[in-house]
Amino acid sequence: MKWTADLEHFPYPFKGSTYRYSNNSIPMITPISVEITPDYKNEMLLKRNLLTHHPDRCYQSLPHTKTAQWEIVELVIDHLAAHYPNEFTIEKQNSTWIFSNKLLDEKVEFVFGDLQSLPCEPLAFISHHVQEDLILMMQRDDDLYLDAGQLCFPANWSLAFNIGMKFKNIHHPIPGFKEEGLDDRILQFLLRLEAGNPWERKNWSLMAGDRLDTSLETFDQWGQLRKQVTKENAGKLVHIRVEVQKLFRLSQTNNILFTIHTHLLSLEQLTAIPEWLQQFYDILSKLPPHIVEYKGISLYKNAVLKYLEKQLERVKAT
Amino acid sequence: MNSEALFINGKRKYIFCGDDQGLKLLSSVMEKVIEEGLIHERFLLSDRKMPLLEDFLRSQNMGTFLYLAIPFSELQRFRTAIEDIGYSDEEVQYIGYGEKIISLFCCRCHEINKTKHEQKRLFCQGCGLDLEVSDHYSDLHDAFLGYVAKL
Ligand code: HEM
Ligand SMILES: [Zn+2]
């Protein structure tokens, strides 16, 4: 999926001229867990298709998560209705709620807290209305567990494998994360997350192609494009993939809602802004090998660098 | 997870824990510790029951070093419990013996494959994908993750 909005709205992820793993979370200025972009309708179509045809890949939950799931429904619906009043409304008559999604022309009536009143689990239900992937991290014994989640647009990881997993364990595949003590520092930070003070961060990667659903389950297919990148086609084929991740403490159940909104931008679009071009070139050319490898860029990094060099020459010439 | 124990110097206390055969594998390190006059304790896991061991490990002070020697097939399960108590990788040596069969979760079809632990590659029994064995482990599945071995 191509970025169709203004470039100035793209969540550009870079600061400085180098990139290292760190806790790059910042307090959220406008506390909102989900965002509606111009791609809303297309992405909802894609997401609903994936949820229907690949339920195990896209949705997992453990039985003890229902109360927390309802709390997520409430938080997300309240945010939608408050920030997008023309697109979403909620009428609450005691525990009977009527939720309207005007973008999709849908109206859902249910009894809050009553599982029978929805066609699916509460987390699955609300997932059908937002572009974000929604992950529930349950807190107990000073740890966080991935006990439920809806994940249609993962950056090459498997929800089905990770279900029930602890925070540090989830991050085990990342090189250097444990050795540098980052996993523990970030976990301690998350355990102290307070209701009413949400945080956000951006994560970035590169990919060959423009699929949002880059699941680990289908990597053997979409990964093939990595072999086709050349310095000639990199501008159109290679995309920067930015995840805007948000962290909310759920005040009633003391768990954490983690939302992931994935955005793709072709290198051609990224490099249209000379400052971005230079900064991205600096970062990519100095990116440590273990990060290049983990992010899956090794096969085509050189082709991308050559492409960027050509663009830099072009900018200097004008 | 090794098959041989190594003496690590300079710890406040050493714990040697294993079943009968496991403790035999620890005997040379134990002798060394005795020779050097270091504080130590033996813990026989007669029936490989976890709760007693957990209580025992919880009651230990910081600076305690643990050797655990049991069949490979049980090792990962114990390791998880010991990590939960708060022992880090630097405070424990895990020694396994016997045949180690592990489960491997296929990244494509989610099939759980059984394989010998030495094996680094495997064709998934569910979908035939060529899998590379990783050390990414799930307690819930009691399995390691198998990634695409070759694009
Ligand atoms: C609390 C909810 C979170 C969940 C469920 C989560 C989940 C994940 C997962 C599944 C991966 C991919 C691991 C793999 O390769 O299998 C990952 C990567 C990563 N996570 Fe998290 N994460 C969370 C929060 C955070 C936070 C708060 C930070 C930092 C402040 C963070 C930093 C990272 C980094 C740096 C990577 C590597 C990304 C890359 O290089 O592209 N995570 N995370
Ligand atoms: Zn398979």
Six-digit token string for A10:
């793209």
The catalytic site residues of A sit at: 201
Six-digit token string for A137:
């991290």
The dihedral through the CA atoms of A27, A30, A34, A39 has a sign that is: negative
Query: Considering only CB atoms, which chain B residues are within 8 Å of A220?
Result: 108, 129, 148, 151
- Strand pairing of A106-111 and A96-101? antiparallel
This prediction has a pTM of 0.88
Are B134 and B146 spatial neighbours (Cβ–Cβ below 8 Å)?
Answer: yes
Q: How many Å apart are CA A307 and CA A239, to the nearest integer? A: 13
Are B148 and B129 spatial neighbours (Cβ–Cβ below 8 Å)?
Answer: yes
List Cα–Cα distances, A201 to A179, A212, A242, B11, in angstroms. Answer: 22, 19, 10, 41
What is the pLDDT averaged over residues B46-58?
80
Q: Does A217 touch chain B (CB under 8 A)?
A: yes
Tell me the residue type at B90: E
The count of residues in chain B is 151
pLDDT of residue A4: 67
Q: Tokens 């697109």 belong to which residue? A: A87
Query: Considering only CB atoms, which chain B residues are within 8 Å of A56?
Result: 110
Q: How many Å apart are CA B86 and CA A141, to the nearest integer? A: 12
- For residue A145, pLDDT over 80 is answered with yes
Query: What number does CATH give the domain B13-97?
Result: 3.40.50.80
What is the pLDDT averaged over residues A249-255?
98
| Contact at CB, B145 and A158, closer than 8 angstroms | yes
Q: How many Å apart are CA A134 and CA A163, to the nearest integer? A: 13
- For residue A1, pLDDT over 70 is answered with no
| Contact at CB, A172 and B137, closer than 8 angstroms | yes
What is the pLDDT averaged over residues A152-164?
98
Q: How many Å apart are CA B146 and CA A17, to the nearest integer? A: 35
- Coil, strand or helix: which one is B127? coil
- For residue A154, pLDDT over 80 is answered with yes
- For residue B13, pLDDT over 70 is answered with yes
pLDDT of residue B4: 86
Are A1 and A212 spatial neighbours (Cβ–Cβ below 8 Å)?
Answer: yes
Q: How many helices and strands, by DSSP H and E, does chain B display?
A: 4, 9
Distance from CA of A158 to the nearest CA of B (A): 7
Q: Tokens 């064709």 belong to which residue? A: B123
Half-sphere exposure of A310 (CA within 13 A, CB side): 14
* Mean of all residue pLDDT scores within chain A: 97
Q: How many Å apart are CA B40 and CA B11, to the nearest integer? A: 10
| Contact at CB, B107 and A219, closer than 8 angstroms | yes
Which ligand 1 atom is the nearest neighbour of the CA of A144?
Answer: 1
Are B129 and A220 spatial neighbours (Cβ–Cβ below 8 Å)?
Answer: yes
Tens digit of pLDDT for each residue in B89-146? Answer: 889 999 999 888 889 999 999 999 999 878 899 999 999 999 999 999 999 999 999 9
Q: How many Å apart are CA A265 and CA A146, to the nearest integer? A: 29
Query: Considering only CB atoms, which chain A residues are within 8 Å of B151?
Result: 220, 223-224, 226-227
- Strand pairing of A255-266 and A133-140? antiparallel
Which of B135, B137, B148 has the CB atom closest to A220's CB atom? B148
pLDDT of residue B52: 82
Q: How many Å apart are CA A274 and CA A278, to the nearest integer? A: 6
pLDDT of residue B61: 87
pLDDT of residue B117: 78
Mutate one of B113, B140, B148, B150 to test the A interface: name it (highest A CB count within 10 A): B140
Among A25, A163, A174, A292, name the best residue to mutate to test ligand 1's pocket (greatest count of ligand atoms within 8 A of Cβ): A174
Q: How many Å apart are CA B57 and CA B101, to the nearest integer? A: 27
Looking at per-residue pLDDT, the higher value among A292 and B1 belongs to A292
- Under an 8 Å CB criterion, which residues of B touch A? 105, 107-110, 129, 134-141, 145, 147-148, 151
What is the pLDDT averaged over residues A274-279?
97
pLDDT of residue B99: 85
| Contact at CB, A226 and B151, closer than 8 angstroms | yes
Q: How many Å apart are CA A178 and CA A169, to the nearest integer? A: 10
Q: Does A184 touch chain B (CB under 8 A)?
A: no
What is the pLDDT averaged over residues A205-230?
98
Q: How many helices and strands, by DSSP H and E, does chain A display?
A: 13, 10
Tens digit of pLDDT for each residue in A97-130? Answer: 999 999 999 999 999 999 999 999 999 999 999 9
Residue ranges with strand state E in chain A:
26-27, 59-61, 88-93, 96-101, 106-111, 133-140, 143-150, 199-208, 238-250, 255-266
- For residue B49, pLDDT over 90 is answered with no
Which ligand 1 atom is the nearest neighbour of the CA of A204?
Answer: 41
Q: Domain residues of chain B, as ranges? A: 13-97, 101-148
- For residue A5, pLDDT over 80 is answered with no
Distance from CA of A231 to the nearest CA of B (A): 21
| Contact at CB, B135 and A172, closer than 8 angstroms | yes
- Coil, strand or helix: which one is B57? helix
pLDDT of residue B118: 80
- For residue B85, pLDDT over 90 is answered with no
* Cα Rg of chain A, angstroms: 20
Distance from CA of A299 to the nearest CA of B (A): 11
| Contact at CB, A161 and B148, closer than 8 angstroms | no
Q: How far is the CA of A281 from the centre of ligand 1 (A)?
A: 24
What's the angle, vertex CA A270, arms to CA A304 and CA A220, rounded to 5?
50
Q: Tokens 């491997």 belong to which residue? A: B104
Neighbouring CB atoms inside 10 A of A159's CB total 24
- For residue A2, pLDDT over 70 is answered with no
Half-sphere exposure of A250 (CA within 13 A, CB side): 24
Q: Domain residues of chain A, as ranges? A: 26-317
Are A257 and A136 spatial neighbours (Cβ–Cβ below 8 Å)?
Answer: yes
Residue ranges around ligand 1 (CB below 6 Å): A 21, 23-25, 135, 137, 146, 157, 162, 170-171, 173-174, 186, 190, 201, 203, 205, 256, 258, 294-295
Q: Does A85 touch chain B (CB under 8 A)?
A: no
Among A135, A147, A170, A185, name the best residue to mutate to test ligand 1's pocket (greatest count of ligand atoms within 8 A of Cβ): A170
Are B115 and B75 spatial neighbours (Cβ–Cβ below 8 Å)?
Answer: no
Neighbouring CB atoms inside 10 A of A76's CB total 24
Tell me the residue type at A134: L
Query: Considering only CB atoms, which chain A residues are within 8 Å of B85?
Result: none
Query: Considering only CB atoms, which chain A residues are within 8 Å of B108?
Result: 217-220
Q: How many Å apart are CA B151 and CA B144, to the nearest integer? A: 20
